[in-house]
Chains A and B, each alone.
Chain A
Amino acid sequence: AQSVTQLGSHVSVSEGALVLLRCNYSSSVPPYLFWYVQYPNQGLQLLLKYTTGATLVKGINGFEAEFKKSETSFHLTKPSAHMSDAAEYFCAVSDPRAGANSKLTFGKGITLSVRP
């Protein structure tokens, strides 16, 4: 079975500061990895994903994440936080052996606050 760990429930940064949201996974095979973002009163939307190839992936809104197999991690970063980045962020995994349309396993999510 796969699982995702997002330590902590809340991260607060100053506007312009580095954003680092941590994600560790457990999987018997190298998984597909995802970050989704949820703005207040909205559904989730995909930020970025890693399936194969380059381990550093870039997403929307200046976010990027790096797949590190040795550390079983997929941390999300952004060099400079903006007020509009305040949201809840979810890391998720899926089993590549299950093919397309397989299900995602989500972490509990981390709320990012950005201070002026």
Chain B
Amino acid sequence: DAGVIQSPRHEVTEMGQEVTLRCKPISGHNSLFWYRQTMMRGLELLIYFNNNVPIDDSGMPEDRFSAKMPNASFSTLKIQPSEPRDSAVYFCASERGSYNEQFFGPGTRLTVL
């Protein structure tokens, strides 16, 4: 199995631009999580999906952030417009319902100038 796949691995953009991060979960996993990691705030859960349905988006920082999961094999996290304070590493993780054994992708390092 290829594991959780995230793209791009690195993204550098300018303030105000739209950013789209992509995630392909492990086949057969029915839950997907988006996290953000920074030095200041640590690891934060942004949103998670069960069976492609958003369950909890209380961690999404503001309306500039949106996430979709159109099918079981793909999810996106979009930031529009991006701001320098959005600079972080964004992780996607998936789970098969095995009581929180989440499998993490390698992350996308986002830098907003």
Contacts and interface: CB of A to CB of B under 8 A. Distances in A.
Given A34-B100, A49-B99, A103 B45 contact: yes
A56 interface: no
Interface size class of A (residues with CB under 8 A): 20 to 34
Contact of A109 (B33, B42, B105, B106): B42
B72 interface: no
Interface in A27-68: 32, 34, 41-46, 49, 51
Interface residues of B, number: 25
Max count, chain A CB within 10 A of own CB: residue among B4, B56, B102: B102
Interface stretch (B11-19, B63-71, B78-86, B89-97): B89-97
B98 A100 contact: yes
Contacts, number: 56
Contacts of A104: 45, 100, 102
Given A43-B104, A101-B31, A106 B42 contact: yes
Interface of A: 32, 34, 41-46, 49, 51, 90, 92, 94, 100-109
Interface of B: 4, 30-31, 33, 42-43, 45, 48, 50, 55-56, 91, 93, 95, 97-107
Given A34-B100, A90-B43, A106-B43, 10 more contacts: A32-B99, A43-B93, A44-B43, A45-B104, A94-B99, A101-B50, A103-B48, A106-B45, A108-B42, A108-B43
